[in-house]
A and B are shown apart, each in its own frame.
Chain A
Amino acid sequence: MKNKSSFFLIPYLMWLLLFVAMPIILLTVNAFTDTQGQISLTNLRAFLANGACLKMMVNSFWYALLITGLTLLVSYPLALVIANCRHQRLWLLLVILPTWINLLLKTYAFIGLLGQHGLVNQALQFFGVAPRQLLFTKAAFVVVAAYIEIPFMVLPIYDSLHALDKQIVAAARDLGANAWQTFWRVIWPLTLPGVRAGVQAVFIPSLSLFIITRLIGGNKVITLGTAIEEYFLTTMNWHMGSMIGVILIVIMVLVLLATSGKEQNR
């Protein structure tokens, strides 16, 4: 029996080896060799010595933080409302629906909305505000990125709200907690795992966004994703590009550890 079950594992192990382990190994090998193929730390040194790269790293981190914060701010109340609604399935479907549309299409839609003659500006004009420059601003970038990430934040939060025992909430109210106290002392701590999962699902991809930085940010927001694209496609210095990739992975692992560590202490 044991032999049989390990036999069925083979495809998965092969998959993991080929499509998870191998790319990471190749990336790391590439990162720690120079253009002559010698093993060296040149790329790491170049990265650390290059003020631009460090600035990009800080930038990526900062924008990912902003995007995650904004997403959470919108998603938690939304999830709360949905969890207390009559037609939960329908509302959830509506939240998920935009993920069925191609990312590029959604981004282009925003170009239409935010443009000089776009809908948003037309609406502003109706209120007597002169056309504003909306496209190619940092705020626009953060808003669009947050919009795209919202479903990935709503779902885990909704799940943990849904799993929450309604009787606990009722008990809290019964024992004299007001609505705010019930939320802050009972609901929020109990749904924290969902929030954490959501933050991970949003923060990590936000670190390396690059197509939105160009289309909505007008290349005025530069993140590590932009740098990787440039190193791979324009200068074709794959070693340096890989090094940035490795650094990004390390940051992601750190974020993952930082956001899931507390759970075990509890």
Chain B
Amino acid sequence: MKKLVGLIGSLLLLCGLLFAGVKSLTPRHAAGGSKTLVLYNWGAYLDPALIKKFERETGYQVVYETFDSNEAMLTKIRQGGTAYDLAVPSDYTIAKMRKEHLLQPLDKSKLSNWKYLDPACLNHRFDPGNRYSVPYFWGTLGIVYNDQKIKPGQLQTWNDLWQPRYHRQILLVDSARDIMGMALASEGKSMNSTSSVQLKLAEAKLVALSPNVKAIVGDEMRMYLEQGEAAIGVTWSGEAAQMMQNNRHLRYFVPAEGSNLWFDNLVIPKNARHRQAAYAFINFMLKPENAARNAAYIGYATPNWRAKQLLRQRHQLESQLYQVDWRHLTVYRNLRQRKLQEYNDLFLNFKMSSH
């Protein structure tokens, strides 16, 4: 008994010590402190050096929290457990958040650097007039291929992927909306289609693609393509940019039939506590110098035209990302839950039928 008590006692002591250790290692940020900024962003989606710079310039303490899907972020913001001052949702999620009144309208008079934003990235349907959101990065859905295995120019359209010569060579990104969207686009249909017949046909078309599909993967695609495990990948431009930095044989393009255009924008949630800090950060990130630095570090396409010029001057511009025909691109619309379910069920069917 004595031994047991001793054991429990020492365990408790150990826990206490560890707790104290954790406490002392975490940068102090009283949640109520007025000089903090609670930022909720995708993992590895901001140059850490910029956080340091922001803290130095403004004196705010940045608390950086990350999420890995729009849905996860939305759930947390809905529950309101933590009051985030800034979040970075994608287009269709912004539409959803707007509808659910989770966002604060922006006061653009506080954003002196707004003028650097490319008008092409503004005023899209998910947020008309950008009342609630500031473009952070944008991108497309397209094809990455290895020019050692596939001659440049040989692969030009979505429909080319169906050619038998690409047997077991294609990796698809594990996203129902994007892959179903790809099948729809290859048929010349809208990527926002809500017609059940069109969706069913798109699924059938995907099933026809399955002999060519090597796997349907997530972030691991980057590793597989860099190492030459597969020759072709269907993924987002930002992912492609990071792969191209590590393997110069990889090339990216957006097929001629058209594709998806997406935006990740900064928004201020309704229950944000530090609005001043949020505006200061948005303005900081809109500054061309900082936006360029962030884009060079992350590899995604910046919506800041001045930053793009800076990148070009410094030969850091990944021009393949920006070569897109804007007229052929569609932004995803926020579909009703039932339709979304249909997309996902059909995609799951496709996955199960692939061998």
Contacts and interface: CB of A to CB of B under 8 A. Distances in A.
Interface of A: 35, 50, 52, 55-56, 59, 111, 115-117, 133, 135-136, 214-215, 218-220, 222, 226-227, 230, 233-237
Contacts of B223: 111
Contact of B352 (A52, A133, A215): A52
B220 interface: yes
Chain A interface main SS type? loop
A230 B75 CA distance: 15
B348 A222 contact: yes
A70 B176 CA distance: 33
Contacts of A230: 344, 348
Interface residues of B, number: 29
Contacts of B217: 214-215, 218-219
A117 B215 contact: no
Given A55-B352, A117-B227, A214-B174, A220 B215 contact: yes
Contact of A50 (B176, B228, B345, B355): B345
9 contacts: A55-B352, A116-B227, A117-B227, A135-B229, A214-B174, A233-B69, A234-B69, A235-B337, A237-B337
B74 to A, nearest CB: 8
Contacts of A59: 352
A52 B348 contact: yes
A62 to B, nearest CB: 13
A115 B344 CA distance: 29
A136 B214 contact: yes
Contacts of B227: 115-117
Nearest to A55: B352
A116 B348 CA distance: 27
B354 A220 contact: yes
What 8 A-B pairs have minimum CB-CB distances, sorted nearest first? A218-B215, A219-B216, A136-B215, A222-B352, A235-B344, A116-B229, A52-B349, A235-B341
A133 B213 CA distance: 13
A177 B224 CA distance: 56
Nearest to A227: B348
Interface string B218-235: 101001100111000000
Contacts of B228: 116-117
Nearest to B349: A52
A222 B355 CA distance: 11
